[in-house]
Amino acid sequence: MSPVMMDALFAFLHFAALLVLAGALSAEAFILRLAPTGPVLRLLSRVDAFYGASSVVLILAGVGRVLYGAKHWSYYVEEPFFWVKMGVFVLVGLLSIPPTLQFMAWSRALKADTAFTPPEAQVKAVRRYVLIEAHGLVLILVFATLMARGFGQAWFGG
């Protein structure tokens, strides 16, 4: 495969995974506003699985872009906004752990008792995490845009 095709393939995978991730995160925020019945909790777990899978594809495609893309590793290592973007991505990833653990706990509770309903305070707390993740995703997009255009090197030298 030619380098140009490889770059295009990784870019497509990266963007497609980002769209699935953003859609899953938006869906989680919406679903968490519904009454937390058994079917709603099961749907939430499935959507969270899409969120997790898309984040793995996003990471792998991103690594592919850095290693085999048009800009090469040397561009990224010297671009300050790449590192800021990576830091925010890690933070968003860490923030996604508590909701996922809570969804898993709710699923176990639902299997043990089909009438289980999580406490409203837990649902609100999880939704707060999801909304913070969504805001972090917006920051990632801002930093990615600045990174792709070399603003970090232009503004901060490099």
How far is residue 14's CA from residue 122's CA, in Å, rounded to a whole number?
Answer: 33
How crowded is residue 138: how many other Cβ atoms within 10 Å of its Cβ?
11
How crowded is residue 31: how many other Cβ atoms within 10 Å of its Cβ?
18
Print pLDDT tens along the chain (158 aa): 888 999 999 999 999 999 999 999 999 999 999 999 999 999 999 999 999 999 999 999 999 999 998 888 999 999 999 999 999 999 999 999 999 999 999 999 999 999 999 999 999 999 999 999 999 999 999 999 999 998 887 777 65
What predicted TM-score, i.e. pTM, was given to this entire model?
A: 0.90
Tokens of 118: 């999580």
Calculate the CA dihedral of residues 13, 19, 20, 23 and round it to 10 degrees.
180
